Homo-oligomer: A and B are copies of this chain.
Amino acid sequence: MTTSDTRPFCAAADWGTTSFRLWLLGRDGTVLGERRSREGMQSAAKPGFHAVLEQHLLALKAADDLPVIVCGMAGSRQGWVEAPYVDAPASFDAIAGGAIRVPDITRDVRILPGVAQRPGVAQKATGADGPSLGPDVIRGEETQVMGLGLAAGTLLCLPGTHSKWISVGDRRIDGFSTFMTGELFQLLSTQSILRHTLDPDADVMAESASFVAGVEAGHAAPALILNRLFSLRADGLFGSRSPAKALARLSGMLLGVEIAGAAMLHPERSVVLAASGPLFDLYRTALGAAGWTVDVADADAAVRKGLLAGALQCFASA
């Protein structure tokens, strides 16, 4: 008889738009094998999702009958098999219960659904006079939330190209808001007239004073953002700010507007930040400059733990 540490309970895949990550997991969460590749939804469609998955399972010497749990964009309409959104507020049980079994293959592969916040049912988050959470979707982030083990009442921030702010209840996602900050930063710094004024390859955190000044400006007067963007261009014409500092100020201004908006939608006023790399530093600095209390969660382990929680529910009889 082997110990639980050495016998895989399931395989778990975080299958996003541009990346694929697979683990073999013991029932207690022990990692028994891992694979990473760039075969995300966009590139896996051509060889086929099933072939990509089996190739990586083979490389890990996984048994033919090992069940697999999947989250992320592989479950979108453009993915492998659509796992329709469950509606917010969504309990963790409802999310795991919404997993779709991939048809017509012998292996038991379940894809977890995303969560939809539909128009009309989005609740008032901050009292009767505050703005409502808007129509919104998450897919993949719900699994991170399931893995983080956060207390009810926690506000979670997950930075990214589209950052997600998620109000977490008792084993439940109460509501959330997505901000297009990262995508807008990319567009403005590379495609707009500002590209003549900025160094798009500069290290924003190396110009932290400019970054923080931008956060404070964006946070204090979000309505001015469309004007303050052009001021970056004018400053460039006047030679009064370096291209690296201009990039840092742009990043800060957009983050300041995001944080001001998140404060209108989520009443918690303190936040758990789950990120890694440069985005972690940017958000932690910006949130601090805007006066928020910030706690930190382990972003790397979150999705794996959430996949295990989903697998334990889906494969309970295994």
Contacts and interface: CB of A to CB of B under 8 A. Distances in A.
A251 interface: no
A296 interface: no
A106 interface: no
A267 to B, nearest CB: 15
Interface string A242-255: 00000000000010
A229 B119 contact: no
A223 B257 contact: yes
Given A222-B222, A238-B118, A178 B135 contact: no
A171 B233 CA distance: 27
A116 interface: yes
Contacts of A227: 134, 136, 177-180, 258, 261-262, 265
Contact of A230 (B162, B191, B234, B238): B162
A152 interface: no
A227 B137 CA distance: 12
A226 B135 contact: no
A264 interface: yes
A296 B229 CA distance: 28
Contacts of A265: 224, 227
A119 B217 CA distance: 15
A161 to B, nearest CB: 9
A260 interface: yes
A134 B177 CA distance: 31
A187 B179 contact: no
A234 B134 contact: yes
Contacts of A137: 233-234, 237
26 contacts: A116-B238, A134-B224, A134-B227, A134-B234, A135-B235, A135-B238, A137-B233, A137-B237, A179-B227, A179-B230, A180-B192, A180-B226, A181-B226, A183-B193, A184-B188, A187-B188, A223-B223, A223-B257, A223-B260, A224-B264, A224-B265, A225-B225, A225-B257, A226-B258, A226-B261, A227-B261
Contacts of A119: 235, 238, 240
A262 B237 CA distance: 22
A228 interface: yes
Contacts of A179: 226-227, 230
A15 to B, nearest CB: 19
Nearest to A181: B226
Interface string A138-180: 0000000000000000000000001000000000000001111
Given A135-B234, A136-B231, A224 B188 contact: no
A117 interface: yes
Nearest to A187: B187
